[in-house]
Copies of this chain bind each other. A is one copy, B any other.
């Protein structure tokens, strides 16, 4: 007999937890579809060369290898598991370009795999739940607002308490850094350093900036002062004007931010100039969602605007904007902190008990009728003492238990939560009381 060993980083839920996850997935799906996003799915497996096409860190990739390779096999391309949904989406869009309608709005819920060293709190397999809008040639800023509005509604809908959507714009950052006479390379590095603020703190980024920009202590002070600008939507224009920055990229970004905030609700959003996002990829709007009650937990969703989705695969210019909800991480938090009450470990509404095996055919017909009325119904698979059957319903949290006596044909329904019982002289009367779920 082999001992079962846990492999860390591959989360797995109990039935009542999976039912909760499914409920949250259905809520997010409904929100995304209510904005007109369409589902797509790509294989978990891509060519290694596809995944590496944007210069990703190879060590996070899991390669596949057949345990026993067929000697006649000539297919020698390396296969690998995708580590995010963006690269597969880029490949999909480029591949099916002529079969898609643009602006193309897709959502995608899939697991991704990252070959990290096993360590506590780090998932190696987890769900991401992405949305993106991609256009040919140009994509208006209204799309940025739509992505953030959809993510906003996701967090309002799943209802796990206050959330904060921090928003910035890369053009504003780069314009400000340009005004400090930083070179393009220094600007990119500065973004990478500022992105670490939450992790290494102000002293940490000052140290790294000093290494990057020796003899620029004024510029460093200024860059750090920018990270303190965090204002409500109504104060965005004023906050941006105070910089008196005439850099054209800054001005472009300022206009974008003002327009964007005019299209967002006032609650739960803020302009946060400390937000940088690590990826080179982003060119305009960037955002991150966090839960103020759990600062240690970090980001639960993020995204932004990019100029070029699939330049590695097609000549067609495909600008886009997107966001991703870290579903597995979020589930971990929800379960850990009990943010949503777990339900019962079964979808069943009614347990039909069995006094005698001779009843089973009739009870099956009753169950079928109830199923057409949208009730989930189980018939106990044997006919032991009633106490045992009720105990089963109780353990599974099944709300109603149905009894039909063999002799009188009387029907009784017990509501387990209240320990009350209703009695029906005929089946017809019972069906009237359970018209539809």
Contact = CB atoms under 8 A, between A and B. Distances in A.
Interface string A86-112: 000001101110011101011000010
Given A11-B43, A345-B38, A312 B77 contact: no
Interface stretch (A2-10, A164-172, A192-200, A214-222): A2-10
Contacts of A296: none
Contacts of A45: 7, 10, 113, 124-125
A96 B2 contact: no
Interface residues of A, number: 109
B15 A100 contact: yes
A111 B33 contact: no
A121 interface: no
A66 interface: yes
B49 A2 contact: yes
B77 A66 contact: no
Interface in A1-27: 1-2, 4-5, 7, 10-15, 18-19, 21-22
Interface string A272-284: 0000000000000
A146 B58 contact: no
Copies of this subunit: 2
Nearest to A58: B67
B34 A18 contact: no
Interface string A30-45: 0001111111111111
Nearest to A346: B38
A361 interface: yes
Interface in A47-84: 47-50, 53, 58-70, 72-73, 75, 77, 79-81
A345 B100 CA distance: 8
A73 to B, nearest CB: 5
A100 B18 CA distance: 13
A117 B70 contact: yes
Interface string A388-417: 000010011010000000000000000000
Nearest to A2: B53
Contacts of A153: 371
Contact of A347 (B1, B5, B33): B33
Interface in A149-179: 149, 153
A263 interface: yes
B41 A13 contact: yes
Contacts of A378: 35-36, 105
A263 B96 contact: no
Interface in A223-245: none
Contacts of A263: 360-361, 364
Nearest to A100: B15
A36 B344 CA distance: 12
Contacts of A436: none
Interface string A351-392: 000000100110010000001001111110110000000001
Instruction: Give me the 4 closest cross-chain CB pairs, A-B, nearest first.
Output: A59-B68, A36-B378, A10-B43, A36-B348
26 contacts: A1-B312, A2-B50, A2-B53, A4-B91, A7-B79, A12-B43, A14-B99, A15-B38, A18-B40, A19-B39, A34-B371, A43-B125, A44-B44, A59-B70, A60-B67, A62-B66, A63-B67, A64-B64, A67-B115, A101-B392, A103-B381, A135-B381, A146-B379, A146-B381, A149-B364, A263-B364
Interface of A: 1-2, 4-5, 7, 10-15, 18-19, 21-22, 33-50, 53, 58-70, 72-73, 75, 77, 79-81, 91-92, 94-96, 99-101, 103, 105-106, 111, 113, 115, 117-118, 124-125, 133, 135, 139-140, 142-143, 146, 149, 153, 262-263, 311-315, 345-348, 357, 360-361, 364, 371, 374-379, 381-382, 392, 395-396, 398
Given A1-B314, A12-B43, A36-B346, 5 more contacts: A2-B53, A2-B312, A45-B124, A142-B381, A153-B371
